[in-house]
Structure formats: structure tokens, C-alpha cells
Chains A and B, each alone.
Chain A
Amino acid sequence: MKVFKRAFTYIFLSVAAFFSIFPFFWMVVSSTNKSVDVTKGRLLPGSHLFENMKNLFETVNMGQALLNSAMIAIATTVLALIIASLAGYGFEIYRSRKKDILFNILLLSMMIPFAALMVPLYRMFGGISQTLPIIGIDTLAAALLPTITTAFLIFFFRQNTKMFAKELIEAGRIDGLSELGIFFKIFMPSMKTAYAAAAIITFMNSWNNYLWPLVVLQSPEKQTIPLLISNLGSSYSPDYGVSFLAIVIATIPTALVFFLMQRHFVAGMMGSVK
């Protein structure tokens, strides 16, 4: 009975692992094959990787899309971390009734679906285009501005601030540091785990964001990786090898970021669920 149960567990987990991994395996193998071999269902690595790479970077302009995505994701992550951690710290350290009310109001924004904001934001950036074209429609700035501040990240930093040793603030004040000085010189360096987790979440969300860039970025040279992949997948005569290579390349940064910092991710997320 016990042996039977054990065997069943391993079979069940192996089947699940197979289904989880198979699409990855297939995508990696396909990125090395000719389009026609992909449609034949070839499951062995081919010799077409460099050809696909050449097509992807020369005819589809993957390089530009990578650059756009990287710029948006890095700028979003840096700004989001500073702005949200300032707020999380502010709400927790300088706690007051009025701030608690404001905090709860900000949390309500988590319930607002992006689809409801898309049209008004599009019209808003359309209006900005008239006076301030550098942040108007079809600019990378417009693609990142609405995603910089999320209530989730503020909540996340507030929860993590609860674990910060408050005595350090008094010590900083006695040493004559300003309140901002305490934040930047004492709080930030001592909360590395929280910042790492927040960086992973923000970077992944920004790198993978699709709907808003689809709405606001129009010219081909502005497109980000998800837009490029979507276009490759829906063209009339898709080159599957090239498509899959783009998907593999798009997945590498988020997979790397995640696996390098996975302990921080779980620790940070658990800190905010408790």
C-alpha cells in the first residue's frame, strides 16, 4: 500500500514535470530548426540556429526591440523601487490616522482593471502629445509612466518596513542625518532583500507588459519584445524557427533574473502576505 502510494506520487509529479517542461523543450529545439521542420513536428535540435538569428536581427530588428524593452524595464524598475519604497517607508515610519486613510484609498487602485484605464489614458497621452511630445503617444516614456507606481509595491514596502529596526532611525538623527539621509543611507542598504524581490517583480512585469505598449506604441522602431513576438506569431507566413528564437531570447532575461534571486522573491512575497 505504502509502496503503491509512493510510486503514484512519483508518476504524478513526473507527468506534471513533463507537461511543464515540454513547451520549453519544444521552443528551444524549434529555435534551431528551419520553419518547415518545425511544422513537421521535429523534436531534435537542428543546424539552423545561426540562420534564424541572422533573420531575427537583420530582417525583423530584434536588436531595437531588445533595446526598447531593456530601457523601459530598467527605467521602470529603478523609478518604481525609489518611489514605492519612499511611500512604504513614509506610511509606516511617520504613521498617522490621515496617512492610514490615504494608504487605504491608494490600495483601492489595485482593484481597478487596466482595461478600464486604457481608453482614458490613451486620450490623456493624446492630449499631452500636443504640448509635450516627448512623453506623448508613441514614446517610450508614455509606455512606462502609468506602470511606475503600483499600490501593490507600496503595500509590499510598507510590510517590509515593519521589520526594519527603528532604533537605527534615532541613531541616524543623533548623528545629524536628515530624514531623507536616513532613508537613503540607513534604510535602503539594510533592506536589500526587499529591494531584490521588488526588483524581480517589477522587472518581470515591465519586460512582459503587452496591452499598454500595444495601445500606446505605434511605430515599428518603438516596439517592445512582446509586441514583436505577437506580430511574428500573427503574420501571414510566419517563420516558426525565427518566432521561437525570439521567444527563447525574450525568456532568457526573466528566467535569469528569477533564478538568480528566487530566494529573495519568495522571502519578500511571503513578507507581504503575512
Chain B
Amino acid sequence: MNHKRKSQTIGWVFVLISTVFITIFYFYPMFQALLLSFKSGMGNNLENVGFSNYKRLFGDPTFIAALKNTFIYLIFQVPIMIILALVFSVLLNDPKLRFKGFFRIAIFLPAVTSLVAYSVIFKNIFAQNGIINKFLIDISLISEPIQWLTNPILAKIVIIMAITWRWTGYNMIFYLSGLQNIDASIYEAARMDGANAFQIFTKITIPMLKPIILFTSITSTIGTLQIFDETMNITNGGPGNGTVSISQYIYNLSFKYTPDFGYAAAVSFVIVILIVLFSLIQFRVAGDRK
């Protein structure tokens, strides 16, 4: 008994540093953000304003634009990427496929770049005098360069393509290792029963990968809701507020415009709520398993 109690105390010592760090750098600032969101003022001269920051959200066109943009990134990008990653992993899991190693590394390669670095690359590729426009003009598909980054819809498409480019291979790796854990005899039996490739994919592969699909869709959703590096470096939120994300708006409110920390904190609580909401929905949709 005495020994047990002693080892329990030692256990607390092991988890102590982490608990202190997470409390100081996550929970305490989160609590501070909540307090801040009820205050307003320039820089450090703050006064209590009740819920007025939250009321202001509804009439703030930039906030509404940022919310709308972030949603558009989310509802297009995450499903496109997850489906693409699934398709790649199923194709690359075929034992008879040749050049497998090459295709795997090629599709995974984007995941080793930093978000800022690839954003700058994409900005240049899609610039008015960028390589995409040059190519399209050379093959006479267009005569005038396309304004990729100064048209609000095209700019959003470029950002969605950029995120997809960066993360599809990363998610594919998880599916590939998940597929390798599925017993080949299950597929064998399905084929004997006369199931076609599509049926095998929807009835066996998807259900077997469900926990991993849940994991990747939650991490991708959380990541996309927080998107910052890309919009900051590809379009800087423009044209107008055509690509600005919620995180970038918080950054602008705090460090670019005259700092309004209270309002920025209220905006940040919108992302917190969205992340909790979407994670709950995804757990619910994924069903009972975990």
C-alpha cells in the first residue's frame, strides 16, 4: 500500500511539467481571451463592454467575408482532398502496380515543404505573368493572361488547389498504412462472391478505414478552419476581402490595424466554437466506433 502510494506520487511528478506548460500556454491564455472578448479599447486601454464585441460581429462585413471564405475552403477542400487521397492509396496499394515507389514519393513530396515556402511558389505560379498563364497563352488556349489572384473566385480556387497540393499525399500515407493492415483474404472472398471494384471500395475499404478517415477528416477540418499562412502569403487576403480567413482577420485586427485585442478575441472564439462543433459532427457521422 505504501509502495503503491509512493509510486502514484512519482507518477504525478512525471506528468507535472507538461501539465504546467499546457496550463500556462493553452488554458490560461484561452481564459484570458474569454475575458478579453468582453473588453474593448485601443491597445492596452481596455474597458468592459459586455457582449458588444459579439454583437458587432453580425454587422462586420470583413468578419462575414472571412467566415464565408473559411467555410468555402472547408466544404470544398476537405472532401476533395480526402477522396483524392483515398483513390491514390487504393491505386497504389495494388500489388501488381509498377513504379509504385516513384508514385508514392512523388505524391507525398509536397508534404515536406513549409506552408510559407509553397505559398510563395503558388503565388508566383499563378501570378499574372506566371508560368500557368504563359503556358495557356503558348498553347493558344487564352490570348489575355487570366487574373488568377485578383479575381475573388479564381483566387479562392487557387488557395483550395494549393492546400490540396500540400496535404493530399500526407493523408494518403495514413490510408496506405491502414490498407496494409486489411487482410487480403477479405478481398479474395468478396471477389469470389462476385463483388465489383466499386462495391469492394464502398463495402470493404471505406468501412475498414473508417477510424483513419475520421482522424484525417478531423485534423484536416481543424487545420483548414485555422488557415493563415496560405492566405497571408498567396493573396494577402485580397482582392478586397475575397480570400481573407478568420485567422488572418484576427491577425490583422491585433497587429496590422489599430490593435483592438478585445474584438480580436471575440472573433477567435468563433473559430473555437466552429472547431468544437465540426469535431462533434464528425464523431457523430462516423458512428459508434470511437
Contacts and interface: CB of A to CB of B under 8 A. Distances in A.
Interface in B146-200: 165, 169, 173-174, 177-178
Interface in A202-246: 204, 207-208, 210-211, 214-215, 225-226, 229-230, 232-234, 240, 243-244
A234 B265 contact: no
B25 A230 contact: no
A91 interface: yes
Contacts of A255: 112
Interface in A1-53: 9, 12-13, 16-17, 19-21, 23-24, 26-27, 38-39, 41
Interface in A118-134: 118-124
A112 B29 CA distance: 10
Contact of B18 (A96, A149, A211, A250): A149
B276 interface: yes
A234 B25 CA distance: 31
Contacts of B281: none
Contact of A12 (B91, B112, B135): B91
B289 to A, nearest CB: 12
A12 B97 CA distance: 13
B280 to A, nearest CB: 10
Contacts of B271: 113, 115-116
Interface in A71-129: 83-84, 86-87, 89-91, 93-96, 99, 102-103, 106, 109-124
Contacts of B135: 41
A86 B17 contact: yes
B208 interface: no
A23 B125 contact: yes
Given A102-B15, A119-B268, A120-B29, A266 B7 contact: no
A254 interface: yes
A191 interface: no
Interface in B266-282: 268-269, 271-272, 275-276, 279
B110 A116 contact: no
A111 B222 contact: yes
A122 B212 contact: no
Contacts of B74: none
Contacts of A13: 88, 91-92, 103, 107
A119 B265 contact: yes
A96 B228 CA distance: 39
Given A90-B14, A119-B250, A20 B110 contact: yes
A211 B229 contact: yes
Interface in B87-139: 88, 91-92, 94, 97, 102-103, 106-107, 109-125, 129-131, 134-135
Interface stretch (B30-38, B47-55, B56-64, B75-83): B30-38
Contact of B116 (A91, A229, A269, A273): A229
24 contacts: A16-B107, A21-B106, A41-B135, A84-B18, A87-B19, A89-B14, A90-B11, A90-B14, A94-B12, A113-B222, A115-B226, A117-B30, A119-B36, A119-B265, A122-B254, A124-B28, A124-B29, A124-B32, A149-B22, A226-B229, A233-B123, A247-B113, A254-B112, A258-B111
Interface of B: 7-8, 10-15, 17-19, 21-22, 25-30, 32-33, 36, 44, 88, 91-92, 94, 97, 102-103, 106-107, 109-125, 129-131, 134-135, 165, 169, 173-174, 177-178, 211-212, 215, 222, 225-226, 228-229, 232-233, 236, 246-247, 250-251, 254-255, 261, 264-265, 268-269, 271-272, 275-276, 279
Given A90-B13, A115-B228, A179-B10, 14 more contacts: A21-B106, A23-B110, A41-B135, A90-B14, A99-B12, A111-B272, A112-B30, A115-B271, A123-B261, A124-B32, A210-B115, A210-B229, A226-B114, A250-B117
